[in-house]
Chains A and B, each alone.
Chain A
């Protein structure tokens, strides 16, 4: 029977990885992911999890080690954040095109400079194009559930792509929440043992990672892209199976009080819960406001998002990173592309908030909605606005 406990989200994630029977865990510590890997090494040391915990000497080594272990046929997990994730950059593009289903939890944290240990989405937005499936968790329960879902999807023989679950650093990783931890029997029903399509084995010698000469490179990348698109079907199927076994429903895009909304806020990750509180407050004050939360970031669920927007004419998109010199943040850019020249498309206004751990409060969301309404009447000069920045 599953049990409902008050538990730190990082620890709960480790428990989920244990329930998933991960086999090789190469990991390097970085704030704020440390509790995840610490607890996993404890579980292995106590014999609670039959796995190899590999205390590698850098994040780059962690991801390299993951590639070797996954290619050899073991269920592989790691976790990182910010600078560590950046250090892995060189390698991240490799297991995805090589179809190695590694699962990684990223505790989202701002990037240096200046060095910051606090939460925003820079670290993962820099890795937008690595070709991994990516989801965002809003709370501790989601963090656990999406981790289990990640193993199921990544290793599905129709998918076979690595997957990242994003959790906001500190805001989620270090809070204690009431979480329902599933029991081993339920997880085993949801997650069968890893059976890779190919693996390194002298009984069947194959070559992995050859030179992709120009005659073949384009086809290799297109095949990967097609696999990403095809994966959506299996991502959704796995969420259906999850609901059947665990009773909790997940969708690629979640709607909150959107039915007759004039303005829709768009968020990803833990600020979504504050946004829901803000929407309730604004609704109580008579405003027709709603919220869309993007849970599946890659492959981007365009169809589901358009459907969720419905007839609403104003979108206020919140990006939690600020790419200097870009026209607007990545989520804003994605949505503008999605709706470009679509008849009846909403007006899309981009906002940047919550950089480097700065709180995004209910008041800020109200400010964003106000501004979005103003911009709808008179086009803003800039394509995005940074919320909550002091001038002097």
Chain B
């Protein structure tokens, strides 16, 4: 499956969250541009939380951490061509790391908890990446699928430490007292989640613009050619796995921080599969795709529930409408827009942009070409 992930359009960059083609900004270093874009995005989200009702804060935060998990998957699938059906397992690692730290060492500051979660996720990524380094396509998919189903069983086996099937429950600091009149707990947590997510995205975007990104794309496009060009194929693949697992783990930590829970049933196969679905739905190859995918996960489901309420159907029809709605939307979107929402938007944008800039900015040339 690896080689067939090649796509016909020019290799899309894992773009930074904002990339208008203004010539002056290209002079800035990549990292500075990414940081500026992230700061803008955070300000925009902060403003947004004041515009919407309290109910949306939780959803905005959910979009945030799902975005991060999907973005991590983007690095793995979109950039390095390895398909993982088990990223929910890394979210499980992050969530339980958070839970255990908060319960057993409540004095550790949140930043420390997050760093620990990333470290635990990366460690899990190293183990899984090394164990699966020789696997390709559906074999890798099958092994990671077993990971998604198998890993949460650890919580059942070590039920004294990990709480069994009831999971762990903990309270976390909400809005700091100085701001308590201004922000609700959920609003504050949504902002912290987005701050974390955006910071991680800056790291991701910078990485994929750099040497690692070029190597991963080379490995994705043609492993043998990459090896001949002197790229350490195995190490690159494992590194991609590690980065991706770290992101998913951090996403799991954000979820645990937001909801104050870590329960094995939350990290089901359905979660892992919907992350991959979100990735393809949003569009492979760009971090923007991760955003559309995360939005779709949260809001398609909510829309399905509202649709069911609206139609006032019989109970067994109404109960099942949200999953059916989501499933049908998946089918429709991947059929209608083969490159995902981002691809569709880019084609729309491309029509107008082509009239303005004759040479749209493109990646540094990678060593492979897209040829069959």
- A and B held together in a complex: no
Chain A interface residues toward B at CB < 8 A: none
Chain B interface residues toward A at CB < 8 A: none
